[in-house]
Amino acid sequence: MTRWWHWLPFVFLGLVAASVISFKVFQPVQVVPRIRLAPGFALIDQDGQQLTSEDLRGKVVLYNFTYTRCPTPCYGMNETLKQVQAGLDEVLPPDIPMKFVTISFDPEHDTPEVLRAYADSLDADTDRWIFATAENPSLLKTILGAGFEVYYHPREDGTFEFDPKYILVDGWGIIREEYRYETMLPNAKRILRHIGVLANEIENSKGASKLAYEAAHLFLCYAP
């Protein structure tokens, strides 16, 4: 005769399975993925100052890659960045520092002076929005091509063929999200939503809730 308690282990397993499935389905906690390491670098900014990956450690950074002679609207990148900056206060608590870094892959033309003029023409606050490049083109190719996986290729007329791309990096130097133009129009709203999700994790992933965040990574509960 089957006793009811013989079913207890199955009930327990069922409950565990149900909670795992509901965690995955309802996603009470969402995260942005940890994709890979962002490259280490030493660049030069619009004021001729050095900008290194170590300077940006501990800060959330949104990178994009372009060149100042890119014919406007240049995929609307600057417009998107301005929209993200305008909406930042709503998603990012003031105690989490964030920077925007626009890296030019045209160092021959985009000297610090040119980058400074470009920043001014965009009315950019260079405390928060930094424009940079590397003086050594082959090192720049390693940082951008191999490190950030950004494709760019000069054409004979001085313009570039390139993938407009935004990359979101956390304070540990880990790439958390990549936005490519061809797959989806990277709209400011989507980037802002991800910055908000990342900020939540930074603020709340402590103590017991850290387990919930790690579970969210494990079950790929990624914010759309």
Partner 1 sequence: MKSSRRFFLISILLGVAVVFLGWFAFTRLRPYKFHGSLVPSAGTAPDFTLQGVNGPVSLGDFRGKIVLLYFGYTFCPDVCPTTMTDLAKAMQLLGKQADHYQVIMITVDPERDTPEKTDAYVKHFDPNFIGLSGTPEEIAQVATLYGIFYEREEGSAATGYLINHTASTTVLDKDGRLKLIFPFGTAPEDIASDLQHLR
Q: Which residues bind partner 1 (CB under 8 A)?
A: 4-5, 8, 11-12, 15-16, 34-42, 50, 52-54, 138-139, 142-143, 146-147, 172-174, 210-211, 214, 217
Burial 153-191 (b: 16+ CB within 10 A, else e): eeeeeeebebebbbbbbbbebebbbbbeeeeeebebebb
CB of 174 to partner 1, least distance (A): 5
Sheet holding 165-169, edge to edge: 36-37, 174-180, 165-169, 60-66, 98-104, 129-133, 42-45, 50-52
Nearest CB to partner 1, comparing residues 120 and 135: 135
Please give the C-alpha separations between residue 176 and each of 59, 76, 154, 157, in angstroms, as whole numbers. 13, 22, 28, 35
Nearest CB to partner 1, comparing residues 92 and 140: 140
CB of 140 to partner 1, least distance (A): 10
The set of residues, in sequence order, having a beta carbon less than 8 Å from that of 209 and lying 6+ positions away, is 29
Nearest CB to partner 1, comparing residues 151 and 172: 172
CB of 31 to partner 1, least distance (A): 12
- Which residues on adjacent β-strands are paired with residue 168? 62, 177
Nearest CB to partner 1, comparing residues 53 and 111: 53
Nearest CB to partner 1, comparing residues 82 and 217: 217
CB of 138 to partner 1, least distance (A): 8
CB of 158 to partner 1, least distance (A): 27
Q: In this structure, which amino acid lies at residue 175?
A: I
Nearest CB to partner 1, comparing residues 48 and 158: 48
**Cα 143 to Cα 145: distance, rounded to the nearest angstrom:** 6
CB of 40 to partner 1, least distance (A): 4
**Cα 71 to Cα 162: distance, rounded to the nearest angstrom:** 13
C-alpha closest to that of 128 among 168, 88, 91, 164: 88
